[in-house]
Chain A
């Protein structure tokens, strides 16, 4: 704050403004005791402050103000406050961004769970996560070098209230520290630096804290992620994340040697070989691919409460290198989709875990709801920019599925929270897609039937028609003749039976039936023959010949009939009968063969 007024009138001005501000913001609150922890062990800075608030004013207080330094505000990814409960559970407090006149920085008004009476104390915990705050220095390193980073922050708690006493503890990623600011003679142990305690710090105090140390943790940043959640009422939720990832540590200078990388364990120590993505326990059909196909270097491990994917990019990521991939999986919808009548509610994570201590620069979420979902209402856990809804068409869609699109920048692990989408959906619409398929097949088959059955030729060919007619008639003749020939077989059987049983009555009745059949068949054939003649086909003669031959066959059959009767009556000897029968049957065979050859020419 002092920086903003650079010239000689500083003291008076400062006093004036400070006094003004204090009047504006200080409603009698005092930070009685502050314990700050600045965790720099990863590639993000996590600053937690435990503050004991004391109300020294003259009225009860319902809220207090959280402040973030103007220098750090652009890197602020997450800020949250909670009340230290008696037990483990912390009560999360509601935050609302506000402005304080005359002060730069970002300010949040925190609503207390209950009003803080005069003289009462309350212990709150404030968590701030800053991304991209660790600056690699030097900015370019070779493969063999280690990565050094600089952190620039504040020794004091930036607060609109005066602070009685505070300590600051800085946790580092390694023992190697190049330099650090030495305000108040800090003590340095292995991987931590302890500052303070500082007494009676004025409101809005700032003092640059600078640490330059070695940090080889993976400096991975997701420069953009598109998360597509597609809900199907047939029992599946498909999730697909398209991720652009970049190593935002010190750039690789000079060559990349695979030999060194393979043979020396500390070569390329700051590079990223692989990381773990934790998916929901019910995730199935996980795929991990990019534009040119499946990435074959990944492993999947199914644990009891989660599915762990060891995501290994195609190549190790060195400083400045980037990669791009798609990770997708299916979830059963019964775990995330709740329904009551036509009312549906989808409760899913707005953003999910990609790697530990993740930093997402830009997130786009697309929620594809089933076709026909209406009255859509979204509850997000934190403010997020809605982009106008879109329509998405996929299998068997007719009027499109509503797509909710939202985006947000600068997210960290703390943003992995659930979003709830309420909508109504008429269950009858479920039938639409099967009916569509049924209808399509119906039309297809119907068209085929129409096409096959109807004549679409534009010219009329009488000759062809006659030919077709003739062929259909001959077809009928053939079946009838065959039937007739079958009748003779049948007659033989009747005769044989008669020879054994000597039942004349059965023979006569059988004969009667067969003869009647034979007569109808012969009549049918001759009527067909007449029709053939009417069509002017020469086949009629052939049919006539067949009829003639058939008459002879019939005669032969009748004769064998009589022979059999005579045999049974004892009028002929058995040998003579057999001889007779043989000649008869050979004659018959000859005739039948001739009929067959005639039929073949039809």
Chain B
């Protein structure tokens, strides 16, 4: 709130020659690490002008900071798609841009899940691809010839800027503009969000968090105004969220919860009724337009709470209406009350089962602050349930901490602050009736007092103030440094390209994945089928452009189990499976040479377990352990393990290889053991390619060998004449036409 008054501040300071204290606007700048904007002393007639200029600058800087802190991977490596799932998203976006939207919706991808295939259009959330495709389309329409890959790589950083703007809007609605700016700066650089939105991480979450925050903003707006316009906006934003991420369920549960709690708190109003009824009906219809969602919103249990609250709200509204109309007819009222109570009890139980019972009370409570409290609590709950949903927690933490910082600064920095009024949001564009009293009043009018100059010292000593302020600023700076450090170290590796550092600081790039994938792309048949563990399915499809058996969309467990079984069987049994699946190449990851720990031998027990789940007769996990229950690859390892296909493929000819003089040949650096089976021969496979550091090994499945030629000569059948007319004068034997009647198992007449 402090920068609210900077213009009047400076005027008064000029006229009252009051001792120079801290400028109010120094805080948000420090938070976003941007450049200072000190020269405010020039008297601009309108405080609103300065205020919006300052907000605009801060938001712009927050966007810039968020964008650039996500670029570590691009600068260190290159503009490349990261990890696994983004490769699928990229591939489908590429398909979308080359073949058009309808082709994309109808896309049957025959290159994955061989021989099943996958209906991509119906099994993805298309929001991400459509967004990237649309941006690409618009840019190309303007003749900005940007490659779709670059659009995909930079989509998440760009959307992080939009997220910070929508967080600003939401926090401004909830608290005030200063807190909003702080929240925008926080969300721009907070690691929890960066982890899913660095450049190259082309994933649903990157745009979904924006959609989430924006939907919440529009929801708060619509509940504050009770206007259908904002509700429809909220629905459209919700539709975008549904199209982008499965996490839309969070919204469709949180908003009903909010309404429900408002009802419980006796805060029912027409605004709530209009907002929620519009949102539920339009949002429901819109969300069902996404092919992947389809009829889920009316079938599955995640959505029942929303329906229940909708019905409850209708009943409640009806009750309110009847209260006004039918006060005399107590019987009827009671009747309706009874009915709605019964209904309410049902929904109550549903909702209490859905959510943990929670109740939160904060000072200065109003409708939207109830919302943020619920948001925080449910996000904490979800993050506790599944760590990946930490992502939903991040924005609300940013908002709440921004509010905390904002109010602390108001106390310690604001020597020109009004005491009696709590700071209230500046809803300058609000035009509804002031139903909630002065809560929605204009707060922008709070101004500097001439008289309080003298009073200011009474509250807190200037020393304490400045110490607290310095501490807070230190904290913010530490936060910025911490965020940058975490981003740079933890979240900025593409994981497709590995890098190692020498003692002198020079960098070696280990590009084995792409080497092998590109070899597959260039030097195998276009329709070759590649078997690998499902982790690499999307990458093989994306980079090698070859048909895979299983991939990261793990929808068919039995198929995965079959691949796991092939990997964990011996060669001849595996050959049977591979023949039945038409496998041409087998790809495995082997980290024993460079000590890469995420390789297939380390994942091998999972293959065994999944295979055992489907084929318990053939594969038993215990067979792969030593009698002592250890998983060992050396001589002490179990013979089943030492002869299974995965082991043989990983260590083929590795036994001859001596990495350095201190270790014996065939020493596996990842598992620090000398391998147990050094004499590996293949009968049905042959090595097709091994990458430079042996990280990726590709084997070719040989076709069936020709059968051995027969020793004896083929039986020659001389066509015998069945009938010749030998009617001579001597032998006159009559015959009947078509006489031959063959009987099974009976020899024909011998001569």
| Residue positions of A touching B, CB distance < 8 A | 254-259, 263, 290-297, 314-315, 320-324, 393-397, 461, 464, 471, 478, 482, 485-486, 489, 589, 592-593, 596, 599-600, 602
Contacts and interface: CB of A to CB of B under 8 A. Distances in A.
Nearest to A398: B143
Contact of B15 (A315, A396, A489): A489
Q: Which 9 A-B pairs have the closest CB atoms?
A: A258-B690, A255-B687, A593-B451, A296-B509, A393-B143, A255-B686, A294-B78, A314-B515, A259-B653
A485 B449 CA distance: 11
Contact of B511 (A291, A297, A485): A297
Given A290-B518, A322-B523, A596-B450, A393 B690 contact: no
A296 B687 contact: no
Contacts of B450: 482, 485, 592, 596
Contact of B518 (A292, A397, A461, A486): A292
Contact of B687 (A257, A322, A471, A489): A257
Nearest to A393: B143
A395 B543 contact: no
A602 B445 contact: yes
A255 B523 contact: no
A321 B144 CA distance: 36
B690 A395 contact: no
B657 interface: yes
Contact of B690 (A257, A292, A322, A589): A257
B143 A395 contact: yes
Given A258-B691, A295-B511, A296-B511, 19 more contacts: A255-B687, A255-B688, A257-B690, A258-B690, A259-B654, A290-B518, A294-B78, A314-B514, A314-B518, A314-B519, A321-B522, A322-B523, A393-B143, A394-B143, A478-B447, A482-B450, A489-B15, A592-B451, A600-B449
Contacts of A257: 653, 687, 690
A256 B690 contact: yes
Contacts of A593: 449, 451
A435 to B, nearest CB: 16
Contact of B143 (A255, A396, A478, A489): A396
Interface of B: 11-12, 15-16, 77-80, 143-145, 418, 431, 442, 445-447, 449-452, 454, 496-497, 509, 511, 514-519, 521-523, 542-543, 653-654, 656-657, 686-692, 694, 700
Given A324-B522, A489-B16, A589 B145 contact: no
Contact of A394 (B145, B442, B517): B145
A315 B689 contact: yes
A543 to B, nearest CB: 15
Contacts of A393: 143, 145
B451 A395 contact: no
Contact of A314 (B79, B445, B496, B511): B511
B281 to A, nearest CB: 24
Contacts of B689: 256, 258, 315
A254 B685 CA distance: 11
Nearest to B511: A296
A292 B15 contact: no
A589 B455 CA distance: 11
13 contacts: A256-B688, A258-B691, A258-B694, A259-B653, A259-B690, A296-B509, A314-B514, A315-B518, A396-B143, A482-B12, A489-B16, A592-B451, A600-B418
A495 to B, nearest CB: 17
Nearest to B496: A293
Nearest to A260: B653
A297 B516 CA distance: 14
Contacts of A256: 687-690
Contacts of B686: 254-255
Nearest to A400: B143
B75 to A, nearest CB: 13
Contacts of A322: 522-523
Contacts of B12: 482
B659 to A, nearest CB: 11
Nearest to A396: B143
A293 B522 contact: no
A264 B236 CA distance: 65
Question: Quick one: which of A315, A321, A600 has the most chain B CB within 10 A?
Answer: A315
B618 to A, nearest CB: 29
A291 B521 CA distance: 10
A345 B447 CA distance: 69
B514 A292 contact: yes
Nearest to A247: B523
A241 B497 CA distance: 25
Given A395-B144, A589-B451, A602-B445, A259 B514 contact: no
Contacts of A294: 77-78, 80
A259 B515 contact: no
Nearest to B140: A393
Contacts of B514: 292-293, 314
Contacts of B519: 314-315, 321
B523 A259 contact: no
Contact of B497 (A254, A290, A296, A394): A296
A315 B515 CA distance: 6
B145 A292 contact: no
A596 B519 CA distance: 79
Contacts of A258: 687, 689-692, 694
Contacts of B144: 395
B15 A259 contact: no
A451 to B, nearest CB: 13
A395 B515 contact: no
B15 A486 contact: yes
B16 A471 contact: no
A291 B514 CA distance: 11
A396 B518 CA distance: 35
Nearest to B78: A294
A254 B700 CA distance: 10
B145 A395 contact: yes
A259 B517 CA distance: 19
Nearest to B698: A256
Contacts of B700: 255
Contacts of A315: 515-516, 518-519, 689, 691
A320 B519 CA distance: 12
A478 B447 CA distance: 10
Contacts of B77: 294
A477 to B, nearest CB: 12
Contacts of B418: 600
A393 B522 CA distance: 31
Question: Quick one: which of A263, A314, A596 has the most chain B CB within 10 A?
Answer: A314
Contacts of B688: 255-256
A464 B431 CA distance: 7
A293 B514 CA distance: 9
Nearest to B699: A255
Nearest to A452: B52
A290 to B, nearest CB: 7
Contacts of A394: 143, 145
Contact of B449 (A259, A263, A396, A596): A596
A466 to B, nearest CB: 12
A256 B520 CA distance: 13
A274 to B, nearest CB: 13
B653 A397 contact: no
Contacts of B653: 257, 259
Contacts of A478: 447
B143 A397 contact: yes
B44 to A, nearest CB: 13
A194 B287 CA distance: 84
A255 B700 CA distance: 8
B143 A471 contact: no
A324 B514 CA distance: 13
A324 B523 CA distance: 11
A292 B78 contact: no
A293 B147 CA distance: 12
Contacts of A254: 686
A256 B519 CA distance: 12
A112 B166 CA distance: 80
